[in-house]
């Protein structure tokens, strides 16, 4: 398996173990997120990709192991220091999370008003800069209900980068986007990462924009990293797990059918719950 070639990690995860109740999510996982790059986290539904973002942000604590962000161990910070660190992070949610009662301009201005002491003149300039970067300066007076899905996603991106975060995290950035909108978002993410000097983590199921956006990819399944590498390494991998996921194959190590009894046996066996319902 190829190793991450970047030796300057911004996020370092060591021996991470985390469970929800009796269900293990991560089991002794170690990996790094390279500084200034775009790292993509992939895997089947339910593998803990969003949970990983919450662990990095300190919203959850690991059962075992450590998570360091820019050399600081997040899970050992006091609440005050954790809140200070989060000011250097930003998360774009699966939903656009826009305030429906505020127009586009006011949505982007909101984090600047809450977290800075900038004058309204400064906020005006910064909001227009962020909207120009996502191609929506002319839409600043529109309400969220007047935006297309792709436009709303771009406004959410402008909100997320309003404070110039050092670490940008995207939770399913491309969900529900048509191919054109997805391509625009991928290009914006790449351009903003370069222009702002950010480190970015993208959680996604989408494969179509990986070549455009990903510097490095981790593929998770069953609590472990089952594949990693750049786009070319992943798309050409001989691993059955990686090949099935990267090419969207229905047959492979990840089964289509949920575990069950033999089909014929199941049909021939009377279901006590069904008989009970019919008897009632």
10-21: pLDDT as tens digits: 999 999 999 988
Residue entry with tokens 């990690």:
9
Distance separating alpha carbons of residues 280 and 273, to the nearest angstrom: 11
Neighbours of 216 (CB within 10 A): 22
Would you list the domain boundaries of the chain?
A: 1-88+205-280
Q: Given this model, what pLDDT does residue 246 score?
A: 87
Q: What percent of the chain has pLDDT over 70?
A: 92
- Residues paired with 224 in a beta bridge: 221
- How far is residue 6's CA from residue 202's CA, in Å, rounded to a whole number? 17
Which is more confidently placed, 97 or 68? 68
Locus of tokens 């998360």: 91
- Bridge partners for 185 per DSSP: none
**pLDDT band of 27, cuts 50, 70, 90:** very high
Instruction: Give 93-106 pLDDT, tens digit per residue.
Output: 777 789 999 999 99
CATH classification of 1-88+205-280, choosing from 3.60.15.10, 3.40.718.10, 3.40.50.620, 3.40.50.300? 3.40.50.300
CA distance 200 to 39: 6
Q: Which range has the worst mean pLDDT, 111-120, 123-132, 166-175, 232-241?
A: 166-175
In this prediction, residue 2 carries a pLDDT of 43
Yes or no: say if 250 and 256 are a contact pair by the CB < 8 Å rule: yes
**Which one has a higher pLDDT value, 93 or 41?**
41
d(CA 61, CA 77): 11
Rounded Cα–Cα distance for residues 126 and 129 (Å): 5
Contact 188, 133 (CB under 8 A): yes
Which pLDDT belongs to residue 218? 96
* DSSP tag of 100: T
Which pLDDT score is estimated for 271? 64
The reported pLDDT for the residue numbered 248 is 83
The pLDDT of 164-170, averaged and rounded, is 94
- Helix, strand or coil, per DSSP, at residue 260: coil
Highest mean pLDDT of the ranges 96-100, 120-124, 258-262: 120-124
Q: Which of 243, 220, 171 is nearest to 31 (CA)?
A: 220
pLDDT of 74 strictly over 80: yes
Task: Choose among 268, 50, 164: nearest CA to 41.
Answer: 50
Contact 158, 81 (CB under 8 A): no
CA dihedral 52, 54, 58, 59 (to 10 degrees): -140
Task: List the single range of 52-66, 170-184, 219-233 with lowest mean pLDDT.
Answer: 170-184
Select from 218, 191, 215 the least CA-distant residue to 203: 218
């Amino acid at each position: 398996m190829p190793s991450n070639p970047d030796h300057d990690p911004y996020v370092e995860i060591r021996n991470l173990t985390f469970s929800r109740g009796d269900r293990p999510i991560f089991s002794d996982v170690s990996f790094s997120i390279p500084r200034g790059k775009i790292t993509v986290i992939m895997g089947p539904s339910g593998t803990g990709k969003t949970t990983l973002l919450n662990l990095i942000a300190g919203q959850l604590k690991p059962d075992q192991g450590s998570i360091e962000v820019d050399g600081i161990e997040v899970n050992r910070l006091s609440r005050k220091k954790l809140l200070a660190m989060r000011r250097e992070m930003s998360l774009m949610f699966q939903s656009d999370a826009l305030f429906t009662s505020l127009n586009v301009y006011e949505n982007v201005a909101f984090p600047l008003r809450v977290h800075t002491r900038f004058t309204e003149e400064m906020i005006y300039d910064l909001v227009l800069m962020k909207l120009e970067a996502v191609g929506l300066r002319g839409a600043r007076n529109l309400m969220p209900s007047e935006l297309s899905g792709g436009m709303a996603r771009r406004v959410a991106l402008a909100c997320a980068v309003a404070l110039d975060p050092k670490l940008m995290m995207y939770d399913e950035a491309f969900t529900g986007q048509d191919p054109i909108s997805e391509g625009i978002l991928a290009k914006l993410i790449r351009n903003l990462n370069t222009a702002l000097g950010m480190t970015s983590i993208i959680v996604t199921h989408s494969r179509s924009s990986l070549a455009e956006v990903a510097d490095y990819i981790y593929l998770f399944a069953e609590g472990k990293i089952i594949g990693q590498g750049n786009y070319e390494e992943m798309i050409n991998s001989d691993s059955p797990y990686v090949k099935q996921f990267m090419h969207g194959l229905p047959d492979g190590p990840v089964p289509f059918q949920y575990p069950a009894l033999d089909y014929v046996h199941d049909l021939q066996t009377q279901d006590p719950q069904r008989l009970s319902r019919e008897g009632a």
